[in-house]
Amino acid sequence: MDINSSRDHLFEEIVRIGKIEDENEKQKQLDILKKKSEKLMSLPEDDIYLVDLDFHWTYVVTHEKEQCGPYFFKNNHT
């Protein structure tokens, strides 16, 4: 799988996880995704932000990959 396919797969997984209502299950799935996305996490020192079209949720992989993130935030106020 090339890096673009990996990014597409990661995006699809994030969209799927973003739709999970149960917060415990969502966190469990994000933890699994973090382990599976190590190839993406090894990219150059850039931050990656993925958002849905209406900015209801955001997934961030920071350049401080060892110390911080990834993060998932859902805006419940829209």
Residue 71, C-beta contacts closer than 8 angstroms, at least 6 positions apart? 58, 59, 60, 62
DSSP conformational letter for 55: S
Residue 14, helix vs strand vs coil = helix
Residue 56, helix vs strand vs coil = coil
pLDDT of residue 10: 75
In this prediction, residue 14 has a pLDDT band, given cuts at 50, 70 and 90, of confident
Cα 59 to Cα 11, 54, 68, 78: the distances in Å are 9, 13, 13, 17
Count the Cβ atoms, other than its own, within 10 Å of residue 39: 12
Domain ranges of the chain: 3-74
pTM of the predicted structure, to 2 decimals: 0.47
Mean pLDDT of the region 53-69: 80
